[in-house]
Copies of this chain bind each other. A is one copy, B any other.
Amino acid sequence: MFDKITYLDNAASTRLDERVLEAMKPYFFDTYAVATSEFGYSMGIDAKEGLMDARGSIAKTLGASEEELVFTSGETESSNMAIKGVAAALRKKKGSHIIVSRIEDFPVLNTAKSLERQGYKVDYLNVDSEGTVDLDQLGSLINKETALVSIQHANQEIGTLQDIKAIADICNEKDVLLHTDATHTFTRVPLDVSKIPVDLVTISAHTIHGPRGVGALYVREGTPLEKWMDGGYQELNRRAGLENIPGAVGFAKAVELVTPEENASLARMRDHTISKALEDIPHVTLNGSRNDRTPQNANLTFHYVEGESMTLHLDMRGFAVSTGSACFSRSLEASHVILGIGGDHERAHGSLRFTFGRYNTMEDVDAILGALKEIVEKLREISPLYAKK
């Protein structure tokens, strides 16, 4: 249909890097044994070493030790495991109160809602108009029964970074465990658990050109965590299931391939997109913070136009972007994030999210901005909302 599709949606970061596949191949075809203990045969030991090396190199980028990293099937499993595991471990010992932010991604938000149905008490923290959580409210909500606080490192839709150090200090001072979903910041924005007292961190390979179906959970040594995925004794008996060694090795390679230069380049595309859209197109609102946001994210509302219409018109010109939450693909329901920062349904429905990845260029950005300007103008011409304004 097109010579080239330009992905500027989540897929911009889910395309596998060829070098990741090359790193995985030996574990598909040569060292494909089941990881085994020192009692096993030699190929099993080689496979285990591949797994341990991957674990160690990923842990290092978080400032963690090797034993503190548990491989999982991705972001969703990591957050389920963290929140349900702590909740079960502390329900009787401490209490059944949990605090999450109002704009968490679905794995955290819907895990919290599921615990609520099981009798846990959940508080949903407010955020300001840029998506920053209310630290005073956090401090005042924590009580003696609080088992866990879960606040994301950055937002999945509007990219807003939280002050995770300030959040961790509050939790640490009040002796409450903290989980953070760092899916959208891992390797892009520093998070050093040797300096910031966060107890559990969700990370995933799919946001950095790594393999799908692979993630990990950082678990600080000594953190009370009931096993969630029951079965075998893999992952130091914290997560059952045949180890996905090629996946773990691919994840480690994906981590290795992210550079500060790349992150700076993503931030330049982000800044250019935001500046040009605000300058060149009337009635545009930036969603999220101008400065405290992930390098790969821009989110803008084009008023008097439907996000879905823009998406379809961009698609017809070979550009892929998202509106609302890409995870919530079954409906046109308004984004809980835009509503959470005080936006109305019109602002949510007119929003476009851009995600920049390794394979995007500044030329892509200029091309989509040019196309978007034309599309928005045309759509507004036929919009009854725009005519009435």
Q: Which residues of A contact B (CB under 8 A)?
A: 1, 5, 7, 9-11, 14-16, 18, 21, 28-29, 32-37, 39-44, 73-77, 79-80, 105-107, 110-111, 113-114, 206, 211-214, 227, 229-234, 237, 240-247, 308, 311-312, 314-315, 320-321, 326-332
Contacts and interface: CB of A to CB of B under 8 A. Distances in A.
Report the 5 A-B pairs with minimum CB-CB distance, sorted nearest first.
A73-B73, A213-B244, A107-B231, A76-B241, A41-B315
17 contacts: A10-B34, A11-B32, A15-B32, A16-B246, A34-B329, A37-B329, A37-B331, A74-B241, A75-B241, A76-B242, A79-B231, A107-B240, A212-B244, A212-B245, A213-B213, A213-B247, A233-B331
A172 B327 CA distance: 38
Report the copy number of this chain in the oligomer: 2
A111 B241 CA distance: 12
A254 B5 CA distance: 30
Contact of A232 (B9, B18, B76, B240): B76
A243 B32 CA distance: 24
Contact of A18 (B29, B33, B41, B73): B29
Contacts of A5: 43
Given A16-B29, A106-B232, A329 B212 contact: no
Contacts of A243: 212
B28 A11 contact: no
A46 B14 CA distance: 15
Contact of A33 (B7, B111, B113): B7
A329 B233 contact: yes
Contact of A242 (B75, B232, B244, B328): B75
A132 to B, nearest CB: 24
Contacts of A214: 213
A382 to B, nearest CB: 19
Given A11-B34, A73-B213, A76-B241, A311 B18 contact: no
B230 A312 contact: no
Given A34-B9, A213-B244, A329-B35, A232 B107 contact: yes
B230 A80 contact: yes
A43 B244 contact: no
